[in-house]
Structure 1
Amino acid sequence: MGKKLFILLVVLMSLSLIGIIFVQAFFINNTLKNEEKQFTSDVIRSLSLVSKAIEDKELLSYDRLYKEVTKNGRTPDTTEIKQLLIYDSFDEDTNQAIRFKNAIAEESFKVPSLFFDIGTDSINISRFTNISETKVYDRSPIDGKISLSPTQTFRDYSTMDDLGRSFYKKNYRAVYKNYPIYKRITNEEVSDFLQSQFSISGIKTAFEYAIYDKDLSTKIRSDNFELNPESTIGIPVFLDDKGRSKFSLYVDFPERRKYLLSSILGMIVLSIIFTSIIILAYSSAIYQLIRQRQISQIKTDFINNMTHEFKTPIATINLALDSIRNPKIIGDQDKVMRYLKMIKDENKRMHAQVENVLRISKLEKNELNISKERVKLHDLVEDAVTHVELIVEDRKGYVKTHLEADKSSVLANETHFTNVIVNILDNAIKYSDDAPKIDVYTENIGNNVLLKISDQGNGMSKLVQKRVFEKFYREHTGNVHNVKGHGLGLAYVKRIVDDHQGHISVESEKGKGSTFTIKLPLIS
């Protein structure tokens, strides 16, 4: 996959993921707004029913007082008939005229103020009765004259219908108009009405309420009510016969936001969980893609370097064999031995490279059997130094040891740990352009022994330091590799140190050299 195509895919996938997150957030926000609208609608409907319940409660109270008055044998002071409907019809077949009349009979009673504490001596309460009357007139002439008197009359003194009830309400509203609000309804009654209606409407959250007389609070209120223009919902109560009122019932829900969120909490939690899973999966996929690209590039570099490393000894071996086959050379024993030694050295070099690769592969699969025994770290250091002494001397450099640790007994594999030290020393030599100058230190820190190998070579950048122990990793210097290798040496070093329950780190500065520090646990 090309670099541009890879970047394009990553950008498109990232934009798609961001789009999904925004869509989820938009959907949740819209759902919350819809829940809020539905909640407000349910509250307003509930308050309307509560307002009606308060009115019905007051109407029943008035009716009980009226019955108590009539029960005491009082007679009405006046009776007033209010005609509400007159309807005429004519039947041509029977020659009869029919007149229907509906009226309300109002009987007024003067009642002492002991029934109504409104600051007056007495008030009037009224009883309303519905009267229906039907008269039938015969329009047939009798003795040449048409009778003006009805031939039949039907009367019905029924209970109040809707028209009679409207007069009844109008009268009781006039009675209660100036009555103190706290005597018309109590806090307990308002609270019970609201609690009952909210429960029926499925509104299950704490609320505060108050009845206001225009802009002034009344005694009918809960302890913690606060009028909040943004969240308080109100509706008129104690309406007059024209549907107007100076009183308003307000309710406020302190935990409204929390309640609304709880209604969609399940959806929010599932959305967060699934979105998080998608983000984790996406991040992991992107990381793996980038990692695979890096590994692919590193393996390509490794193959190129390995090919170069093998090509040189193979070419040398071929040249040596061609020289030996030359009749002039084959008779020269010294030259033959020289070429044979060259072939052996190059073969050994290729064998060492193959072993290095196989050794790392076995470590990755945990197939490398490393037996450990008690050894002196100082002995391993001195043995490793002898392996590189001649090369250092040949380049006019030095390796100085400063073995100051009083205790150096560790549990280690002599061969592998010697290779660890040799690899670090070998890197110090290879990455020193001038004469290699290497110092090896040991010291005791608590129950551990520290081994420090410092050089004054080329050093490393911060980025290289972070990745120097990765398998196949080598610092890129374009297509030019002044130092040959496969990026396996330090990876092998780290795996061996880790297997010995140790720790390795590096401190370096570009152009000023590097210091590798190995910490190993001591054994008694």
Structure 2
Amino acid sequence: MNRLFFKLLVLLMSISLIGIILVQVYWFNASFKNNDEQFKFHVKQVISNVANKVQKQEAYNFYARINQYKDSTGKVPKKNDILEFYYVQKNPKTNKTIIYSNSIISEDYNISPTFIDKKFVNDNFKSFSSKRVTEVYNDKSIDKSEISQSLIPDVRIEKTGNLDVLDNASFEIYYKDFASVLPIQERVTKETLSKLIKKELQEAGVNTNFEFSVYSNNLATNVKSKDFKYDKDATYSIPVFTDNEGNSRYQLLITFPYKKRFLLSELVSITILSIVFTLIIIIAYTSALNQLIRQRQISEIKNDFINNMTHEFKTPIATINLALDAIRNPKIIDDKEKVFRYLQMIKDENKRMHAQVENVLRISKLEKRELDIIKESHNIHEIINDAIEHVNLILEDRQGTIVNHFSALRNTVLINDVHFTNVIVNILENAVKYSPNIPEIEIFTENIKDMIIIKIKDKGLGMSKIAQKRVFEKFYREHTGDIHNVKGHGLGLAYVKRIVDDHNGQVYVESEKGKGSTFIIKLPLIN
């Protein structure tokens, strides 16, 4: 159930993390598309404003030239009535008559467009004004035929003024017909167009580089920026300079070479924060998952350790109990030789249990930095020989051999002899324990620069690549089937690693499954 719960927890955490990442990606894409739509909206507004302003500016310039010409000639315009109408209202009770008349007058200044372009032929430019008269006749009955007669009204109100609507319509028709025959470079310059586009884009908040061009019937004209290149996804267009029929042969195109960069720049701050927080979540998730897996592995290793420790203590205790029971036997108690033999067995088993307890205590003290390690100058070869003496009994029991190859000429190191002897003993005991056949061990020493290298080689079971990476971890043991087939607690090599590290040395293993292992220790020499 615990394993199922653990797997379910990991699955849910993984799904949640993937969900968060997918939501972030979806949000980013949605934001990018939204920014793209806003960008299109603002650009369309900009090019529409530019097109209107360019055409208005052209009309204004043309109108200014017309007025300047009218003022400079000083001609009196020729006036013609082009429309006149009357409105008569009679009140039979008061016998009052009201007559309203309106006359539309055209004023021809005799301005021909040939003053601008001799090739252009059109009607002369005209302006329009109106004359509005209201007459009131009291106590008079007036017929329609009398309206044109010279009657003197009791009240006369006369108003005159320009007809802007007609003037504007006439002027627009006049100037558009004239402008339509001009080449595009005479209607607008690329400098004017560039400044106007830049100003409109800045007002719309579109602060990115742009290029522009005016096309005529799908062909580029000379009115364009230097680096304009058409890009389907980043180019926007609008008709400019429409004629009197509402048609235009010119298109204004604006392209943004760094459009995507600009759109991304608007998301960069929130995107960076999103990425940072997502990375924090991923790191926290990975760390938590790693801790969960590690804790689970540690729990399993500790269970193995307890099982092994129980098993190893159970055998000596049983042996001690059997020896005590034998000593109590009246037949044996008088046999001193057997009594001494059983007492030696009790002592050996007790010593064995004591050694295991000491191993645990040493590791604990090392972790708490409570173990005093006093270092002195020693000959490493002598330390190795002392360690060999410690394992001679178990080696003889297995009929094994140890062969020394001491090639190091410099062998004086600063070490703690007791602890370093234990280091070599632990490695040698492992070599004996993990040799299924007769143990064959070789010890090599050599000098490399200011270091001495110690190699302890066996022909035992060997280790997998995974075991080689973890062999120096506390409680770690590589299983070989039955967890009790080789006695141990996974503490010996952890102790070796801590002692070698405290001597400013290095220890690692080279091994191949089924071909044995070589433990290599590097220690600094005393100069």
Read off the aligned partner of 1:8 and give its amino acid letter: L
Bigger drift between 490-499 and 128-137 goes to 128-137
What secondary structure sits across from 1:64 in the alignment?
helix
Superposed displacement of residue 229, structure 1? 2.2
Superposed displacement of residue 478, structure 1? 3.7
Superposed displacement of residue 438, structure 1? 0.6
Superposed displacement of residue 449, structure 1? 0.9
Indicate how the Cα distance of structure 1 residues 77 and 360 shifts in structure 2: closer, same or farther if over 3 A, else same: same
Superposed displacement of residue 187, structure 1? 1.5
Aligned counterparts of 1:299 and 1:354: Cα–Cα separation in 2:
15
Any gaps of 5 or more consecutive residues in structure 2?
none
Once the two structures are superposed, residues 432-452 of structure 1 have per-residue CA deviations (whole angstroms, 9 ceiling, x without a partner) of 111111111111111111111
| Contact 1:104–1:164 (CA under 8 A) maintained in structure 2 | no
Read off the aligned partner of 1:430 and give its amino acid letter: K
Indicate how the Cα distance of structure 1 residues 209 and 125 shifts in structure 2: closer, same or farther if over 3 A, else same: farther
1:400 maps onto 2:403 in alignment: yes
Aligned to 2:147: 149
Aligned to 2:111: 110
Q: How does 1:332-347 map to 2 (within 5 A)?
A: 332-347=335-350
Superposed displacement of residue 394, structure 1? 2.8
Aligned to 2:492: 489
Q: How does 1:80-119 map to 2 (within 5 A)?
A: 81=82, 103=104, 105=106, 107=108, 109-111=110-112, 113=114, 115-117=115-117, 119=119
Aligned counterparts of 1:211 and 1:241: Cα–Cα separation in 2:
20
Aligned to 2:3: 3
Aligned counterparts of 2:332 and 2:146: Cα–Cα separation in 1:
165
Bigger drift between 418-427 and 362-371 goes to 362-371
Aligned counterparts of 1:172 and 1:154: Cα–Cα separation in 2:
36
| Paired-residue identity, % | 49
Aligned to 2:46: 46
Superposed displacement of residue 147, structure 1? 6.6
Indicate how the Cα distance of structure 1 residues 87 and 331 shifts in structure 2: closer, same or farther if over 3 A, else same: farther
Once the two structures are superposed, residues 42-95 of structure 1 have per-residue CA deviations (whole angstroms, 9 ceiling, x without a partner) of 111111111121122111112211112211113446757378x99999989978
Indicate how the Cα distance of structure 1 residues 136 and 508 shifts in structure 2: closer, same or farther if over 3 A, else same: same
Aligned to 1:128: 127
Aligned counterparts of 2:101 and 2:292: Cα–Cα separation in 1:
94
Aligned counterparts of 2:208 and 2:263: Cα–Cα separation in 1:
10
Aligned counterparts of 1:90 and 1:301: Cα–Cα separation in 2:
124
Aligned to 1:30: 30
| Contact 2:399–2:438 (CA under 8 A) maintained in structure 1 | yes
Superposed displacement of residue 104, structure 1? 7.2
What secondary structure sits across from 1:432 in the alignment?
coil
Q: How does 1:74-223 map to 2 (within 5 A)?
A: 74-76=75-77, 79=80, 81=82, 103=104, 105=106, 107=108, 109-111=110-112, 113=114, 115-117=115-117, 119-120=119-120, 124-131=123-130, 133=132, 142=141, 149=147, 156-223=159-226
Aligned counterparts of 2:91 and 2:15: Cα–Cα separation in 1:
84
Any gaps of 5 or more consecutive residues in structure 1?
none
Superposed displacement of residue 345, structure 1? 1.7
Read off the aligned partner of 1:73 and give its amino acid letter: G
Bigger drift between 503-512 and 317-326 goes to 317-326
1:21 maps onto 2:24 in alignment: no
Q: How does 1:414-453 map to 2 (within 5 A)?
A: 414-453=417-456
| Contact 2:212–2:252 (CA under 8 A) maintained in structure 1 | yes
Superposed displacement of residue 155, structure 1? 5.2
Bigger drift between 481-490 and 147-156 goes to 147-156
Aligned counterparts of 2:89 and 2:36: Cα–Cα separation in 1:
56
| Contact 1:447–1:521 (CA under 8 A) maintained in structure 2 | yes
Aligned to 1:280: 283
Aligned to 2:351: 348
Aligned counterparts of 1:502 and 1:358: Cα–Cα separation in 2:
23
| Contact 2:87–2:100 (CA under 8 A) maintained in structure 1 | yes
